[in-house]
């Protein structure tokens, strides 16, 4: 014992504290983790939130129901539309209004486009910690086409501010369906190339397969949802299936599941989800009726929208899992309280401290990536 203490004093490098933060190419967003490393193995990991903290939830209370449109998408950069939809649905529930049928289908198109966008970002990002930068560049190039489509539909590339309470902000531009289908066709042709590049790649397989496990008891313990849960417990728990919102009950799609959740499974499932998303977009375009796309939320102009008293938990399936807003209205022009249930909050906030220790240092970034952590969902 004494010998150990002496050795520890003599050799201060036995445990090294490393800062794994935004400067690291494998890190997503402005998060940081303090890693305590012995040799190659992470012995302790401490999440240090705060770098991104903008007080989203509190700020929402200071914006009107209409004005919040500009703030909420910023809770998740890679997939902003989930915030818009979840907020809009919450407002609609509290105000007890019915959204026009056409708007539901437009919403589904937007949601699946953004899901593809987020998965592409994430699949490309797997290149950063593994050294496969080609994947990242290809994905960004193809992603650019979706961003163009978003720009044409909503007016912006990243923060779309398009899905609003009562429907969507504007009618789809003329001919967008054709452009969308052309993109899907094009992208579908490219999908096998992505498969060959990423999933058939022996290096990637060596890095991801049987590595960074997510056992089912961890899923239950932390409350992981989304791909993490579906890959570990083999149950198709998907909000789109269990609590269908928009018109997800009108379209056919599968939810890929698995019972063996290593980094590879979790990554390849994103690939299969993209295929399902494309199916949904095609069906939505076919099923979309003509008609209005928006109904007023409350009487009067947007400065004077008042919602009745009420509360609701609005929930949807994001690319990373169950994403919800708990919203309270006290009958005024501003929300009384909004609490964000970030999809990756459980694994991001609790999981890092508890289950990152034990991985090798070079897998730390992969752990962060394949657990599907979106930093602003922790830091909000």
Partner 1 sequence: MDKIKKLFSPIRAWKYAFNKPVTLPMEDIIDRPRESQNNARGFHVNDHTLCIGCGACSEICPTEAIVMVKRAGIEDKDGALAERPTIDYGRCCFCALCVDICASGSLKMSKAYLLNATSPDTYYRMPEVSFDSSGGDKIGYEKTSESDLLVLERQGMEQVASEEARESFMEILKGFSLEQARIEAARCIGCEICVKTCPANMHIPEYIDSIWKGDLKKGLVQMYETNPLPGVCGSVCTHKCETVCAIGNRGESVAIRWLKRYIVDNAPASAYEEGVVQPVSKPGRGRVAVVGGGPAGMSASYYLRTLGYEVDLIESQAQIGGVARYGVPAYRLPESRLNKDVSVLEKIGVKMILNTKVGEQVSLEDLGEQYDAVFLSTGLPESRSLTMEHGDHPDIGYAMPLLAAARSYLRGEGPAPEVSDNAIVIGGGNVAFDVARTLLRLQREKGIEGEVKLVSLETEDVLPADLEEIQEGREEGIQYFCGFGPQAVAVEEGRIQGLHTVKCLSVMDAACCFNPVFDHDQKSLISGSQIFVAVGQMNPHSYFTQSLLDQVKFKGPRIQVSQWGQTEGLPWLFAGGDIVQGPDMIHAIADGHRAARGIDQYLQEKWRENA
105 belongs to the binding site for partner 1 (CB under 8 A): no
232 belongs to the binding site for partner 1 (CB under 8 A): no
Min. distance of Cβ 304 from partner 1 in angstroms? 4
Q: Decide whether 14 or 144 has the Cβ nearer to partner 1.
A: 144
Q: Decide whether 168 or 251 has the Cβ nearer to partner 1.
A: 168
Site for partner 1 in 295-334 (CB under 8 A): 296, 298-304, 306
Angle at 344 between CA 374 and CA 119, to 5 degrees: 60
Using CA atoms, how far apart are residues 160 and 154, in angstroms rounded to an integer? Answer: 6
294 belongs to the binding site for partner 1 (CB under 8 A): yes
70 belongs to the binding site for partner 1 (CB under 8 A): yes
Site for partner 1 in 43-62 (CB under 8 A): none
What contacts 24+ positions apart, CB below 8 Å, involve 44-51?
A: 44/357, 45/352, 45/353, 45/356, 45/357, 45/364, 46/352, 46/353, 47/348, 47/349, 47/352, 47/353, 47/378, 48/21, 49/349, 49/378, 49/379, 50/379, 51/21, 51/22, 51/379
Q: How many residues bind partner 1 (CB under 8 A)?
A: 49
Using CA atoms, how far apart are residues 86 and 70, in angstroms rounded to an integer? Answer: 14
Using CA atoms, how far apart are residues 177 and 99, in angstroms rounded to an integer? Answer: 21
Min. distance of Cβ 26 from partner 1 in angstroms? 20
User: Which residue reads 């997939």 in tokens?
Assistant: 79
Min. distance of Cβ 206 from partner 1 in angstroms? 11
Give me 111's structure tokens. Answer: 């949601």
127 belongs to the binding site for partner 1 (CB under 8 A): no
205 belongs to the binding site for partner 1 (CB under 8 A): yes
Q: Decide whether 102 or 320 has the Cβ nearer to partner 1.
A: 102
Give me 267's structure tokens. Answer: 């990554």
Q: Which stretch binds partner 1 (CB under 8 A): 122-130, 140-148, 214-222, 318-326?
A: 140-148
3-state secondary structure of 319: coil
Residue 212 region by backbone torsions, left for phi larger than 0, else alpha for psi between -120 and 50, else beta: left
186 belongs to the binding site for partner 1 (CB under 8 A): no
Residue among 7, 41, 51, 141 that touches partner 1 (CB under 8 A)? 141
Helix (H) or strand (E) holding 38: strand 33-38
Task: Give the residue from 92, 75, 91 showing the smallest Cα distance to 83.
Answer: 75
Q: Decide whether 2 or 303 has the Cβ nearer to partner 1.
A: 303
Q: Decide whether 166 or 348 has the Cβ nearer to partner 1.
A: 166
Site for partner 1 in 144-173 (CB under 8 A): 144, 148, 151-156, 159, 161, 167-171, 173
3-state secondary structure of 323: strand
Using CA atoms, how far apart are residues 49 and 29, in angstroms rounded to an integer? Answer: 11
292 belongs to the binding site for partner 1 (CB under 8 A): yes
Q: Given the rule CB under 8 A, which residues bind partner 1?
A: 63-64, 66-71, 132, 134, 138, 141, 144, 148, 151-156, 159, 161, 167-171, 173, 193, 196-198, 200-203, 205, 292-294, 296, 298-304, 306
């Amino acid at each position: 014992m004494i010998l150990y203490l002496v050795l520890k004093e003599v050799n201060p490098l036995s445990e090294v504290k490393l800062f794994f933060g935004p400067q690291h190419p494998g890190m997503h967003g402005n998060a940081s983790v303090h890693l305590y490393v012995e040799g190659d193995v992470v012995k302790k990991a401490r999440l240090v939130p705060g770098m991104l903290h903008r007080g989203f939830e509190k700020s929402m209370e200071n914006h009107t129901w209409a004005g919040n449109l500009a703030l909420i998408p910023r809770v998740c950069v890679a997939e902003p539309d989930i915030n818009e939809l979840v907020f809009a649905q919450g407002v609609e529930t509290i105000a007890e209004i019915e959204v026009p049928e056409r708007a539901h289908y437009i919403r589904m198109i937007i949601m699946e486009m953004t899901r593809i966008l987020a998965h592409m970002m994430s699949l490309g990002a797997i290149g950063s910690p593994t050294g496969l930068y080609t994947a990242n560049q290809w994905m960004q190039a193809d992603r650019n086409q979706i961003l163009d489509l978003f720009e044409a539909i909503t007016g912006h590339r990243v923060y779309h501010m398009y899905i609003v309470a009562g429907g969507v902000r504007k009618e789809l531009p003329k001919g967008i369906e054709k452009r969308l289908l052309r993109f899907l066709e094009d992208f579908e042709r490219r999908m096998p190339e992505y498969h060959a590049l990423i999933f058939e790649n022996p290096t990637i397989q060596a890095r991801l397969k049987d590595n960074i496990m997510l056992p089912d008891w961890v899923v239950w313990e932390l409350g992981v949802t989304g791909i993490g849960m579906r890959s570990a417990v083999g149950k198709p728990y998907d909000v789109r299936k269990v609590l269908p919102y928009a018109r997800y009950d009108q379209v056919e799609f599968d939810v890929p599941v698995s019972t063996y959740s290593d980094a590879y499974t979790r990554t390849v499932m994103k690939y299969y989800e993209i295929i399902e998303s494309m199916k949904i977009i095609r069906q939505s375009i076919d099923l979309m009726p003509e008609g209005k796309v928006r109904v007023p939320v409350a009487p009067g102009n947007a400065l004077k929208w008042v919602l009745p008293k009420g509360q609701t938990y609005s929930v949807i399936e994001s690319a990373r899992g169950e994403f919800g807003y708990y919203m309270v209205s006290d009958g005024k022009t501003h929300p009384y309280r909004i609490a964000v249930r970030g999809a990756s909050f459980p694994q991001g906030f609790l999981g890092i401290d508890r289950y990152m220790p034990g991985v090798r240092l070079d897998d730390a970034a992969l752990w962060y990536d394949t657990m599907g952590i979106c930093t602003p969902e922790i830091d909000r």
